[in-house]
Each structure stands twice: as structure tokens, then as C-alpha cells.
Amino acid sequence: MEDLGIINEVELDMSENTETPEAAGTEQEKPEADKTEESAADKSVTADEDEDAVTLKKPENPGAAIEAVLFANGNSVAKEKLCEILNLSCEELDAAVAELMERYAQDDRGINITELDDALQLGTKGEYYEYLIKLSKSAKQYSLSDTVIETLSIIAYKQPVTRAQIESIRGVSSDHAINRLLEYELIEEVGRLEAPGKPLLFGTTEQFLRSFGVKNVGELPTISAEMMEDFKQQAEAEAGVESANTDDESVTVEV
């Protein structure tokens, strides 16, 4: 009887200290959930710190900073992007760029800043082109025929424009001229017209602006009705013999 009493006491103690598997699992999961929340909070704090670290202070010399960014990039950089990465206002950027342009305008400087729509690019002055091409294996100098110039003019003033619209103005096929302009990177495909067949739309490029020395197409001289009529007459004169005159070089473009 005494042994039985001892066994009963032991069983009672064990029953008091025994947990169901479900209860044990619940107790283990709570700390994991707490750890997950703590980890997420830590990551949030780290992300905030990283974001603060990326935000750079305003450069002491904005002009020098702009010059460095444009030089390192090589291509044009949007003004909005420059303001963002240099932490400058539009007014501060314009003032710094104007000061740089004034310096580059001096005869003892061989570089300049070119404005292309809402972007800026650091480049060399045109008068030193003949020296620069000696560094290149082949000079990127293209000669444009009258046909190509006419087609380019139509695209520049009517953009975005389709191939059919160009040919409607000229009155003849413009495949050769368009292909040449695409090759020279003076025009590019800018989308498709929402019409049956969705024909390609063409527009001018930054290379066009650089080559013809304008900031944007708004600086192009106004085209008159007489000029458009001249285009038509010249196109009609070329009809049937255009393929024979495609090498008629009249305008030279440096790119």
C-alpha cells in the first residue's frame, strides 16, 4: 500500500508538469514571432539609415560638381537628374551652368556645355574637330543629299510623323532617305500611331540637335509654305531618278 501511494504521488507530479504537444508548440512559436517583429524593426531602421546616408549634402562648388558629373557620364544628363543627385534647386543649377558656360566661352578653353532640350552635355568646341578625328580610326562625318535633307526637314518640323505622311508631303518614296537618317542617328523611332496597322512614328534625336547646333526643335527657323512647295517640286523632279542621285552630296554633318 505504501508503494502504491508513492507511485500515485509520482504520477500526480508528472501530470502537473506535462504539457500537450500543442501547448508546447505554442510556447515555442511566440518567441519566434517576437524575433521576426524585432528583425523587421531592425531592418526598417537600417533602411532608414541607408536612405539618410545616400542623401548627399549640397556641393560647396556646384559648378565643379556639375562639370565632374557631365565629364564622367559622357552622354547628356537631364537637368532634373542633376538637381536630384547634387541636391540643387533649378535656379541654383541654372546659375552654376551659366557660370560654367561663361568660363568655357573664353578662347583658351576647348570644351563647352551643350543644352539639348532639358538635358546638358559636356563636349568639345567645334573648331577643334579636325584634331579630334585624328584620335579616331574613322571620322564620323556624313554628307547628306538634297533628298535626305528634305526628308529630315519634314521630320523635324512635323514630328512625330509616319513614313506615309512623309511620302505624302514629298510625293515620292522616302525609304532610302529614312534609312540613311536612321543610320546617321539623326532620327529615331518614337512610337506607333494609333491607327490601323499602327505605323511607326519618327522624330529627331539629340544627335540631330548637336549636329545642327540648336538646343531644341523650337529654335529651328520657321518653315514657310513656299519652302514646303519647293520640297514637293524637288521631290517630283527626282521621281524616277532618285536612285541614281542618292550620292548627290550637298550638306556635310559632323557627329
DSSP helix/strand/coil, 54: helix
**Same domain, residue pair 94 and 196:** no
**Same domain, residue pair 115 and 214:** no
End-to-end Cα spacing for the chain: 110
**Same domain, residue pair 37 and 73:** no
Q: pLDDT at position 238, please?
A: 54
- Exposure string of 164-201, with b = 16+ CB inside 10 Å and e = fewer, is ebbbebbebebeebbebbeebebbbeeeeeeeeeeebb
Mark out the alpha helices in the chain (DSSP H runs): 2-17, 21-54, 62-73, 79-86, 90-104, 129-132, 146-158, 163-170, 175-183, 206-212, 225-238
Written as nine digits, the cell of 153 is 526637314
Written as nine digits, the cell of 248 is 548627290
Query: How do strand 119-124 and strand 111-116 relate by DSSP bridges?
Result: antiparallel
pLDDT tens series, the chain, 255 aa: 444 444 444 444 444 454 444 444 444 444 555 555 555 555 544 444 454 445 678 899 999 999 999 999 989 999 999 999 999 999 999 999 999 999 999 999 999 999 998 999 999 998 988 888 787 665 566 788 888 999 999 999 999 999 999 999 888 999 999 999 999 999 999 999 999 999 999 999 998 998 888 888 888 887 666 666 666 666 556 554 444 444 444 555 655
Q: pLDDT at position 85, please?
A: 93
pTM exceeds 0.75 for this model: no
**Same domain, residue pair 144 and 250:** yes
Query: How do strand 119-124 and strand 249-254 relate by DSSP bridges?
Result: unpaired
Amino acid at 48: D
- Specify if 117 maps to a domain: yes
Written as nine digits, the cell of 65 is 560638381
- Specify if 135 maps to a domain: no
What is d(CA 132, CA 182) in angstroms, rounded to the nearest whole number?
A: 24
Q: pLDDT at position 244, please?
A: 41
Residue in this structure with the C-alpha cell 584634331, named with its chain if needed: 131
**Same domain, residue pair 198 and 102:** no
Q: pLDDT at position 55, please?
A: 61
Residues 161 and 201 sit within 8 Å (Cβ to Cβ): yes
The backbone region for 35, taken as left when phi is positive above 0, alpha when psi lies in -120 to 50, beta otherwise, is alpha
Q: pLDDT at position 254, please?
A: 57
**Same domain, residue pair 117 and 44:** no
> CATH number of the domain that 108 lies in?
1.10.10.10
Strand partners, 252: 143
Give, for 192, the enclosing helix (H) or strand (E): strand 187-192
Residues 218 and 211 sit within 8 Å (Cβ to Cβ): no
Which of 109, 130, 151 terminates a domain? The answer is 130
